[in-house]
Amino acid sequence: MARLLTPLLFLILIIIAWLSLTFGSTSVSVIGGLIDWLNGEQTQAALIIGEIRLPRTLLALTVGAALGLSGAALQGLLRNPLAEPGLVGASQGAALGAATVFYFGLFAGFGTLATAVAGLLGAFAALLFMLLLAGSGRPALVIMAGLAISTVAGAALAVVLNFAPNPYAMQELVFWLLGSVSNRGLDSLYILAPALLIGAALILSQRRLLAALSLGEEVAESMGLSVRNGSRLTVLGAACLVGSSVSVAGAIGFVGLLVPHMLRPFVGHRPDRLLIPAALLGAILVCVADIAVRGMPPGRELKLGVLTSLIGAPFFVWLVWKERRRWL
């Protein structure tokens, strides 16, 4: 089962990606559209597939993969099944970083990369503060520290919103924060794809550490692994993933929480074997959720991040309930 999982998820991902390209208000030939677009022809199919659906699909897949992978990595590193980019403060940190750049035009030298860089810095700073606050060990403290950091970042974000130069800018920012992969264009991929590769490389380089950490920091250290360096690299990798995806697509919550839980029974609960399947399932889920968003009746669009929260939040409540029973 465990061996078949990754190929199986990959197959589903291809099918979902195809569905996502096919699905829309106008019916067009996907292959024809792709060929026309690649040849630079200005047909209707080329425009719809190449300029609208392809970027949207690729973006949903990369954002989902980044969130799924970062969730699996953070849960493994912190030895906590509730660790999730949103719950440990990383998403809020990234949102604060990106929002600040929106307003104050910082990092102008980076051009379009500015929000991504700020998102990454924000996510990294939030995770770093969270780890400092929680100290090592105590899994319960991680969530409390994450909550504290989220609150601080949330307050700072509220200040940014409060001093928004005009109502239109504020509305734009709020909609961006709700999370969506529509109307982003292929340029966003120039930020996301390298961030996904770097983040994944950093995290995968530490998969032995994640496996060893199942038995605690002392055991991992005693087996010759450097817990301190490895944790830093994993946190940096997770910050890369969360920072870039939040800066491009806003906050898409609960994917990082849900995905590792759904997969754990199929990989023998091993945190190291969870990573790649988590990236694949994250990509699948976000892409499916985006198809669902597009399938809603026209009018006011339901944002992707709102949909994932609506599905994910009850799941979180259920997890807390399950944990509670464990301690009773």
Where on the chain is the footprint of other proteins (CB under 8 A)? 79-80, 139, 208, 211-216, 218-219, 221-226, 264, 268-271
Closer of 97 and 271 to other proteins (Cβ): 271
Query: For other proteins, which is the closer residue by CB, 24 or 81?
Result: 81
Which C-beta is closer to other proteins: that of 184 or that of 261?
261
Least CB distance to other proteins at residue 209 (A): 9
CB of 224 to other proteins, least distance (A): 3
Report which DSSP code applies to 50. Answer: I
User: Minimal distance in Å, beta carbon 200 to other proteins?
Assistant: 21
Nearest approach in angstroms of CB 17 to other proteins is 31
- Cβ-based burial of 280 (10 A; exposed 0-12, middle 13-18, buried ≥19): buried
Query: What is the closest distance, in whole angstroms, from the C-beta atom of residue 219 to other proteins in the complex?
Result: 6
Cα pseudo-dihedral 167, 300, 56, 63, rounded to 10: 70
Cβ–Cβ < 8 Å for 16, 53: no
Q: Which is nearer to other proteins, 36 or 272 (CB)?
A: 272
CB of 220 to other proteins, least distance (A): 8
Instruction: Give the Cα separation of 240 and 121 in Å (integer).
Output: 8
Cβ burial, residue 214 (10 Å; 0-12/13-18/19+): middle
Q: What Rg, from alpha-carbon coordinates, does the chain have? A: 20
Interatomic CA distance for residues 304 and 203, integer angstroms: 26
Q: What's the CA gap between 243 and 119, in Å, rounded? A: 4
Distance CA 298, CA 175 (A): 17
Q: Which is nearer to other proteins, 232 or 270 (CB)?
A: 270
Nearer to other proteins, 6 or 214 (CB): 214
Judge whether 239 and 72 are in contact, CB under 8 Å: no
